[in-house]
Structure 1
Amino acid sequence: MNHEHLKPAAEGLRTRVFQIIFESDTPLAKGFDIVLIGVILTSVLVVMLESIPSLRDDYGAWFIRLEWGFTLLFTFELAVRLYCLERPWQYLKSFYGIIDLVAILPTWLALLVPGSQSLVVVRLLRTLRIFRVLRLMEFVGEGRLLIGALLRSSHQIFLFLFTVFMLVTIFASLVYLIEPEEAGFTSIPTAIYWAVVTLTTVGYGDITPVTPLGQAISVLVMLIGYSIIAVPTGVFSAEVIRSIRADRYSEEACPGCGHDRHERSARYCLKCGTWLDETTPDPRLADKTREDGKTTPRADDEDDAPPDH
């Protein structure tokens, strides 16, 4: 998250607190973020352990104390964040502000709705701050590249999924007509569930055909699953490669030979060595012109030279 639009409320203590909480340029600020991430992970671990019946029976009281301790700590941290800001509501409306608020609400809601404290696992989203702490924002750009490739290939993937859905419905209807109810095929939706499990080669085994024809259809569905599983992967991979090439290579053709697969940082043609930027002169020609001007004597200099005796 970019905190450049956030400003401290006033000079002095609030500014110092702002620098520690919202920045990571100093060792103290980076240490604060790392400690915060460690506390977040610990609180999520406590919630996971509390869901185990045997541990909950033995240490239920301790889990409750720890959860309230974490909640009070995060509530105080959010209050300090708002205290040091010039416009607190601006932060609360941001991505991290919403995450910080949602992270403390489940425990407080548990006072009204028992069991809602399990939702505190959303605190795990707060660990996204590690991208700011460790300065890994370049990976955000890579993620945007993948998301863009996924969006550009969405039509092909949708067509593929629609085709798979039609195949699943057809095979499920056939098996429903062939197999007896004792085999578990009590309805077409149940048969569709079996077809999806079989097509994806998961094979739970809770519903299986018992007739030879039904088993033959199962084999066919599994073979189709193996043959089409690479289709969406290939479509997405091709779009990712196309995006990488678009970012790396320029489509401008060489003015000399017409070759159009140059890296964006390239200055000369890979094939013929022609200067690619037609808006500026070739520095090699300028250097050569200057060198020729220095080494070649001028005609008037030759006329002024003294005659040989």
Structure 2
Amino acid sequence: MSSHLKPAREGLRTRIFQVIFESDTLLGKGFDVALIVAILASVIVVLLDSVAAFRTQYGTWFYWLEWGFTLAFTLELAVRLYCLERPFWYLRSFYGIVDVIAILPTWLMLLIPGAQSLVVVRLLRVLRIFRVLRLMQFVGEGRLLLDALKRSMRQIFLFFFSIFMLVTIFASVMYLIESPEAGFTSIPQSIYWAIVSLTTVGYGDVVPVTPLGQAITVILMLIGYSIIAVPTGVFSAQVIRSIREERYSDEACPGCGHEHHEKRAKYCLLCGTWLDEETSDPRASEMGSDAPGSTS
């Protein structure tokens, strides 16, 4: 739990805080499940409302359901702020901003008059999809993915920079080989073709017509197939590293020096030495009482 997410004071606010922000109680788990269901249901309403056939037939239902979800999420946000010691800290956090964005478009519909503003309101309604982001706070493994992404940013940046250089070289060569009639009117246009070919998408709007250009295209596509797994491998390695750090400890065994024990392990896997140096080994007293010459 973050340091700024603290209940306002003992009493009702503390009990509400334990239900909303903690999940170690039955009421807390029930609240999280109900909130997830409400978020998913509200997103489904937004998705169905974007379909013209459903909007024509069930537009009124979608309208009132949207207002129902908006009122419920507004009340939930108000209760969250009520039980916090520093509510403005929560509003400045990631999930606080998402909470505000999730309910803001519907309330703006009441404040923006005029037929010309309907287009703006319709665009603002799309922002309600941000409710999906609130599901991230209920996924414990999300932090592992974010840590892995941060650690692999340099490798991924280097990879994309190398791809950009490769694409630029191939695009420059194709700009010299192919004619403007084939679609290679400039180097940026050729870069677009190179990216499409390297990713093996193949839109077909820019196609080489000379045998040499087609041969270079084949080489570029094969290169695309061979390097497509590079960023996936880098990211997967960082995910595995984050999982290991989450599960295993770096502290060495005081007996044999072996590392990478599970954090919940009490004894060394190799030599059986007690790992927690701050407390005494309960097994030592039992062995001492059973030793020869000991008295009961």
TM-score normalised over the length of structure 2:
0.74
SS in 1 for 2:121: coil
Structure 1, 156-165 or 98-107: larger mean CA deviation:
156-165
Match of 1:301 in 2: none
Q: 2 CA distance for matches of 1:41 and 1:86?
A: 29
Q: Residues 92 and 193 (structure 1 numbering): CA distance in 2 closer, same or farther, change over 3 Å?
A: same
Match of 2:56 in 1: 57
Q: 2 CA distance for matches of 1:9 and 1:287?
A: 49
SS in 2 for 1:208: coil
Partner letter of residue 136 of structure 2? L
Gaps of 5+ in 1: 132-136, 295-309
Q: Residues 163 and 84 (structure 1 numbering): CA distance in 2 closer, same or farther, change over 3 Å?
A: closer
Match of 1:299 in 2: none
- CA deviations on 1:54-86 (whole Å, 9 max, x unpaired) are 323333343333222322222223223333444
Could you tell me whether the CA contact under 8 Å between 2:5 and 2:90 is conserved in 1?
no
- Within 5 Å, which residues of 2 pair with 1:10-159? 11-12=11-12, 14=13, 16-110=15-109, 111-112=111-112, 113-115=120-122, 116-131=124-139, 137=140, 139-140=141-142, 143-144=143-144, 146-159=145-158
Q: 2 CA distance for matches of 1:267 and 1:192?
A: 59
Q: Residues 237 and 76 (structure 1 numbering): CA distance in 2 closer, same or farther, change over 3 Å?
A: closer
2:180 equivalent to 1:181: yes
Q: Residues 174 and 152 (structure 1 numbering): CA distance in 2 closer, same or farther, change over 3 Å?
A: same
Q: Residues 127 and 174 (structure 1 numbering): CA distance in 2 closer, same or farther, change over 3 Å?
A: same
Q: Residues 167 and 121 (structure 1 numbering): CA distance in 2 closer, same or farther, change over 3 Å?
A: same
CA RMSD of aligned residues (A): 4.0
Match of 1:198 in 2: 197
Q: 2 CA distance for matches of 1:253 and 1:86?
A: 42
Q: 2 CA distance for matches of 1:130 and 1:243?
A: 19
Q: 2 CA distance for matches of 1:39 and 1:250?
A: 41
- CA deviations on 1:175-197 (whole Å, 9 max, x unpaired) are 22222223222222121111111
SS in 1 for 2:103: helix
Match of 2:116 in 1: none
Structure 1, 241-250 or 189-198: larger mean CA deviation:
241-250
Distance apart, 1:215 and its partner CA: 0.8
Q: 2 CA distance for matches of 1:269 and 1:28?
A: 39
- % same residue: 57
Q: 2 CA distance for matches of 1:31 and 1:238?
A: 35
Q: 2 CA distance for matches of 1:69 and 1:269?
A: 56
SS in 2 for 1:114: helix
Q: 2 CA distance for matches of 1:55 and 1:230?
A: 41
Gaps of 5+ in 2: 113-119
Q: Residues 108 and 159 (structure 1 numbering): CA distance in 2 closer, same or farther, change over 3 Å?
A: same
- CA deviations on 1:7-49 (whole Å, 9 max, x unpaired) are 145635x555444444444444433332222222111111111
Distance apart, 1:266 and its partner CA: 8.5
Moved over 6 A (4+): 253-256, 274-277, 279-284
Could you tell me whether the CA contact under 8 Å between 2:183 and 2:207 is conserved in 1?
yes
Distance apart, 1:172 and its partner CA: 1.1
Distance apart, 1:201 and its partner CA: 1.5
Q: Residues 176 and 4 (structure 1 numbering): CA distance in 2 closer, same or farther, change over 3 Å?
A: closer
Q: 1 CA distance for matches of 2:92 and 2:73?
A: 18
Partner letter of residue 134 of structure 2? R
Partner letter of residue 59 of structure 1? Y
Could you tell me whether the CA contact under 8 Å between 2:5 and 2:84 is conserved in 1?
no
Q: 1 CA distance for matches of 2:41 and 2:18?
A: 25
TM-score normalised over the length of structure 1:
0.71
